[in-house]
Amino acid sequence: MSPTSDDGPIESIRFHGLEAGPRLIVLGAVHGNEVCGPQAIARAIEDCREGRLTILRGEVTFVPIANPKAYRQKTREGDRNLNRDMREKPQPADYEDRIGNRLCALLRGHDMLLDIHSFTREGPPFVFFGPEDNTGTLEPFRHARAEAAFAACLGTRLLIHGWLDIYARLIGARERLGLPPLSLTEGFGTTEYMRFAGGYGVTLECGRHDDPASADVGHAAIHNALAHLGLTDSLPPPPPRPAIIHMDELVLCEAPGDRLEGNWNTGDAVAAGQLIARRADGEPISATRDSMMIFPNTTPKPGESLCYLGVTSSRGL
Ligand SMILES: [Zn+2]
């Protein structure tokens, strides 16, 4: 037996509407310890099988467990973070490269992606979506309006954008510190690959990993997505008026001992001048403006983020 043959297959379940329509793919457990996705997807599949959801148009493909090895291990990663460096690799070097090749092929066969995740700490559910329409080199895109409307239909009160721009900044900051270089493709996860492949996609962060409500958020989002895209004839509930946040500031861990100050969660308001972190030598790091805390990192390594900060976006829906 080869050392890789026990990795197991990826299971997908597809419902084909009898009329033409868009092709949606829904992923769970890209990170193996985020079980709300598999739970929400299992419920949605049962809804389809038992007639509580009727797919009339297009197709929906459910991948309940995108990373079977990490899921079995109950860990975020198998060999590495599947949601980084997502692209086809003719010479896969690790487990995530191998399943990445299969997932990329699946993503290419669809028009839009709903990728269901959860997070470690407290905080409200939110959706990450992509850039404005542009012809630049970082992430050229032409479905910004449709993607933002898709993000808004899912039911969360918070939408965040700005990931790849800030990742490029993280790479530059690491270079200045003399840390091992990261390639820009490291910043590419499922949604970035989907945009590269000509579609659009969003990441739904449903809540805390171990909160049963997280699966409810994911399950409702699947129903809302299917209705919004017209795969079902259900009337999507009027979406809440979400706050749209531009994640545009990176606070970097520059040396061992750099640390957050206080007990922060994503979504917390940060006032201008408020202390948020300290350098290893005690030097305070304070917010330069009123902003929102995003992804506080309580176990940062040099070259990683201590946190990100965002402000109200100028983008509309
Ligand atoms: Zn995740």
How would DSSP label each residue in 150-209? HHHHT--SEEEE-HHHHHHHHHHHHHHTTPPP--GGGG--HHHHHHHTTSEEEEEEEEET
Where do the domains of the chain lie, and which CATH numbers do they carry? Answer: 5-241 (3.40.630.10), 245-312 (2.40.50.100)
- Å from CA of 119 to ligand 1 middle: 6
* pLDDT at 6 (0 to 100): 58
- Å from CA of 127 to ligand 1 middle: 12
- Å from CA of 82 to ligand 1 middle: 9
Of 231, 12, 38, which Cα lies nearest the Cα of 118?
A: 38
- Å from CA of 118 to ligand 1 middle: 6
- Å from CA of 206 to ligand 1 middle: 10
* pLDDT at 1 (0 to 100): 39
* pLDDT at 47 (0 to 100): 98
For 251-275, what is the HEC assignment? EECCCCCCEECCCCCCCCEECCCCE
Q: What is the pLDDT of residues 70-120, one digit of tens each?
A: 999 999 999 999 999 999 999 999 999 999 999 999 999 999 999 999 999
The residue ranges of the chain whose pLDDT is under 50 are 1-3, 5
- Å from CA of 117 to ligand 1 middle: 4
- Å from CA of 34 to ligand 1 middle: 6
* pLDDT at 4 (0 to 100): 52
